Amino acid sequence: MKRRDQHPHFAALETLFETGRGPKLPLPPRLARLYGTLRMPLPRSRFHVFSNFVSSLDGVVSLQTKGHSGGGDISGFSAEDRMVMGLLRAAADVVIVGSGTLEADPRHVWTPQAICPELANDYHRLEKALRKREPSLNVIVSATGGVNLRLPVFASHAVPALIMTTAAGVKRLNKQRVPDSLQIRVLRPRGGEIPAGAILEELSRENPGRRILVEGGPRLLGTFYSERLLDEQFLTLAPQIAGRDIPDKRLGLVMGKTFAPRDPLWGTLIDARRGSRLLFLRCSFAAANGRLWR
């Protein structure tokens, strides 16, 4: 079970740098005081895809150790980081995670209230102001279909849930009792993985929302970067050195894909905020993907 502060302190973030791209989201007073202004593009003809991770100074996002695979060990179980995670989930219409992320935190449901219950009312007010009629669609991506359908994300009815898998994966899933509310979509894999473009194409048929949050893991995120479909990266930087053995299974932000030196993928820093211990960065990759946001 994740350790959390019994009496968390939500310090207001200090805005160091902000470019002011996109419309301002209608944050309730408490969230506006804690985070500041949050602007986010909302395209009319396609999705705005963004990701959120926390990383150590040496680039580790998961220790890949039993009981210590989540971001809490990286952030120091920061209340401020949880506040930002909840804020981005509240802004998103869809939250996408891979089966590895689900396995690391099997009891989790990807809602703002689940990650930061202390601000549940504030997140609800934001969702209402954004005219969200239901919680963000939770999308689990699993090429093999090797997920337990009794887990809360599928069986609790707390969120609308959808599994994207392959033909082989759906056969495996059908060996379990499939909850009536769970949607399953079959996609064609490429190179052993489900393409990010196929995920977004399917979502265009399923969900009218336009803001898509990718919470991992690093391999799934790598497919979005390799297909140039990730518009923005929110990255919380923790002043911690996690270290690596040789060899080591600890994960970096992106795994399974390489870019530099042949095809370096550069973004632009568009926002920086300082918490009591952590640095909150935001980088745009829209220009690198051939798109410009105003």
pLDDT digits (tens, 9 = 90+) for 256-291: 999 999 999 999 999 999 999 999 999 999 876 666
Q: Strand 183-186's sheet: what is its strand order? A: 14-18, 268-274, 279-284, 232-238, 48-56, 211-214, 94-98, 137-141, 161-165, 183-186
What does pTM read for this prediction?
Answer: 0.92
C-alpha distances (whole Å) from 238 to each of 58, 74, 116, 148, 254 are 9, 7, 19, 32, 17
- How open is the CA angle 230-93-14, to the nearest 5 degrees? 70
Question: Looking at the DSSP assignment, which residues form a beta bridge with residue 56?
Answer: 238
Per CATH, is 14-256+264-284 categorized as 3.40.50.720?
no
CA dihedral 91, 93, 96, 102 (to 10 degrees): 80
Q: Decide if 74 contacts 252 (C-beta within 8 A).
A: no
**Domain ranges within the chain, ordered by starting residue:** 14-256+264-284
Cα(216)–Cα(98) distance, integer angstroms: 6
Rounded CA-CA distance 120/290 in Å is 37
pLDDT (0 to 100) of residue 54: 96
Would the pLDDT of 204 be above 60? yes
CA terminus-to-terminus distance, the chain = 42
Structure confidence at residue 192 (pLDDT): 87
What are the tens digits of pLDDT across the range 138-179?
999 999 999 999 999 999 999 999 999 999 999 999 999 999
Instruction: Specify the pairing of strand 279-284 against strand 268-274.
Output: antiparallel
Q: Are 169 and 143 in contact (CB under 8 A)?
A: yes
